[in-house]
A and B are shown apart, each in its own frame.
Chain A
């Protein structure tokens, strides 16, 4: 019984649970958005009604209520109709936080895989959840911490929390949504990245250039063909020395890896294409004749899937190259800054809008998490302390009795 690389990938959770057609992806985002919108509206209406009742009962002491609700504007406090985010706006917010995750990764000096995994987790999570329900700001920290564990870049929560200067980031706030995030990810923690595949391709291409390729066909023939590759697409055949060709390969994979680490990560490429197609697409963007030559080595042009493969890789390349950051890199500086400023302004507006349409039930994740646990926070710490002391005494006396010959007494019911 034989397993090919394709069979191996077919068995991965990324293919089984997290690969979609573009229609499915759009439909899923729409469903999520509709459900979240309904929920936000219902919850806001309920809270408003509750609040109105509350105000009527004691209208005098209206100082601080509803936790953070007094100072910052939120959906419950205002009287206007809730203006929920659309699918596109949600996606823009998630994309923006993915970009911020790259910055966060750089700030924490994490290896790149951590950031990459974190971004894919975020995208997967927000496929089934809306930023209106769980704010990306909170979730992205948790997800980043989760990614450090998955990519075996272990550090403690305290150490991770120390990276943030804001006082609102505590170990509790990082850990609180963790279980929920795991559920949202369906416990599928394996992300197949294209980075290692790119290294493998580069390795083989360098072997080809050196005439040491052991695949089908003779190494020398392949080397000779490779050294005559045109510089540009549809250009005339050129003469390369081995050294120059190696430089060309290295440059191409450098450029491709840059694309993979920015634009490709931030698009839906992981949902729509396999990692193999993604790295080939990035390589195609870097050096088209070289990539086509390499693909030709792997699949003969006469093969029935050759055309289909090329069109898939081209469409993946199109998706990657349509990303804002990829386009920005090609633009002159003035236009780039202008566009970037535009983009930032829009993001700022969207985040302001998000503030007014958040689900009021899900704002304080820490409190919600504690309510789930046995020691639900009772408001003030004194009661908590007394409870802890009583529990400790009980445990100690139980242990003491357990040493007795007949064991401790059975607990009295009632």
Chain B
């Protein structure tokens, strides 16, 4: 790791923090692009090709790959990772760093500069917690204040200012958000957990932790209301749960309500009783009440319709519709003259 770009980066980040952090990443990248010289030198620097743990160099082993762990961002070669961490978590082998690392967290770095790598990771983490949008705020001013606050949190984490406090507040905020999102399912959890008990051993332990924490979080949020949410933002609207989706109605709200008859549950006429007992009808999931409703609907379908009146009514006022006489006449002419297949 070369020192030159690091210092330059630190300077740029400080300057950006003073700016208020508007579009920091782009500025950071921009400042990087200005430092072509030192970066080129750092590429040529042979120390970047030597594993700081086992001191083997890429010159001897061209297939060597470097890995980093987002815990401390110390770089080491793949074989070192395999060697040290294959038996479970172990402390970082770099002198002065005693963090416990796990093998599965190691990954290839995306950016050459590990500072950038770390910043991007932190931004990802903060963004995943801070998901409010402009619509969630009362005024644009509030939204901008919120954005600034988010940027402050980000830079606190990046510059390692009040990390502990900020982290715990972030976590509380995340939990608060989660609780707000699914209040209903979290209430159901205690019931479903005991049933899991006898079958799952490890799973239960693992699952119990978040549920317990969420339960306690629920309590705190219920008791202190909005006191313990980690952060408070001015002008943030209270989240309104989206309206519950109505069950699907294939008839689109329409229903058949008979006007002239009341359908009875049973009719004692002989053929109705035969239908009820006929196995041929029973097998096909056929409901004899459908027969009753259909016959009665047909018996009174058009009971109150007077064709002459309705046709005269639809012919006179609305010339636009063209139903009835007009259409029939036009269709008739067309039919005889044109629409003839033969």
Contact = CB atoms under 8 A, between A and B. Distances in A.
Contact of A312 (B259, B261, B306): B306
A69 B254 CA distance: 60
B253 A275 contact: no
B248 interface: no
A305 B304 CA distance: 8
B331 A4 contact: no
Contacts of A372: 341-342
Nearest to B301: A9
Contacts of B311: 19-21, 24
B285 to A, nearest CB: 18
B267 interface: yes
Nearest to A277: B302
Given A197-B299, A203-B292, A6 B269 contact: no
A114 to B, nearest CB: 18
Interface stretch (A82-90, A176-184, A332-340, A403-411): A176-184
B254 A274 contact: no
A137 interface: no
Interface in B256-270: 256-262, 264, 267-269
B269 A36 contact: no
B181 interface: no
Contacts of B341: 179-180, 183, 372
A361 B264 CA distance: 58
Interface stretch (B187-195, B201-209, B322-330): B322-330
A207 interface: yes
B268 A15 contact: no
A199 B295 contact: yes
Contact of A273 (B267, B296, B307): B307
A151 interface: no
B255 A5 contact: no
A3 B264 contact: no
A207 B306 contact: no
A365 interface: yes
Given A4-B259, A8-B301, A298-B260, A274 B307 contact: yes
B305 interface: yes
Contacts of A214: 262, 264
Q: Is the interface of A mostly helix, strand, loop or mixed?
A: helix
Given A15-B302, A372-B342, A197 B264 contact: no
Interface stretch (A27-35, A91-99, A382-390): A27-35
* Interface core residue of B295, B302, B307, B310 (most chain A CB under 10 Å): B302
A21 B268 CA distance: 40
A3 B254 contact: yes
Given A198-B299, A203-B269, A31 B259 contact: no
B240 interface: no
Nearest to A4: B259
B300 interface: yes
Contact of B259 (A5, A180, A203): A5
Given A200-B295, A203-B269, A3 B304 contact: no
A189 interface: no
A21 B312 contact: yes
Contacts of B257: 2-4
* Interface core residue of B255, B259, B303, B311 (most chain A CB under 10 Å): B303
B308 interface: yes
Interface in A1-45: 1-6, 8-10, 12, 15-17, 19-22, 24, 28, 31-32, 35-36, 39
Contacts of A276: 298-303
B297 interface: yes
B335 interface: yes
A180 B338 CA distance: 12
B305 A274 contact: yes
B294 A275 contact: no
A214 B264 CA distance: 6
A180 B335 CA distance: 10
Contact of B299 (A6, A200, A207, A210): A200
A203 B332 contact: no
Interface in A344-402: 361-362, 365, 368-369, 372
Given A28-B328, A206-B269, A183 B335 contact: yes
Contacts of A49: none
Given A2-B257, A180-B340, A183-B339, A17 B328 contact: yes
Nearest to B311: A21
Nearest to B334: A128
Nearest to B260: A298
A238 interface: no
A5 B269 contact: no
B336 interface: yes
B295 A197 contact: yes
B231 interface: no
A6 B264 contact: no
A5 B258 contact: yes
A2 B255 CA distance: 5
Nearest to A361: B342
14 contacts: A2-B255, A4-B256, A4-B258, A21-B308, A24-B325, A28-B328, A31-B332, A128-B332, A180-B340, A200-B295, A203-B267, A308-B306, A312-B306, A362-B342
Given A6-B259, A32-B332, A206-B269, 17 more contacts: A1-B253, A3-B254, A8-B256, A8-B297, A10-B310, A15-B307, A21-B308, A24-B325, A31-B329, A184-B335, A192-B301, A200-B299, A203-B269, A215-B261, A276-B298, A279-B299, A308-B306
Interface of B: 253-262, 264, 267-269, 272, 292, 294-308, 310-312, 323, 325, 328-329, 331-333, 335-337, 339-342
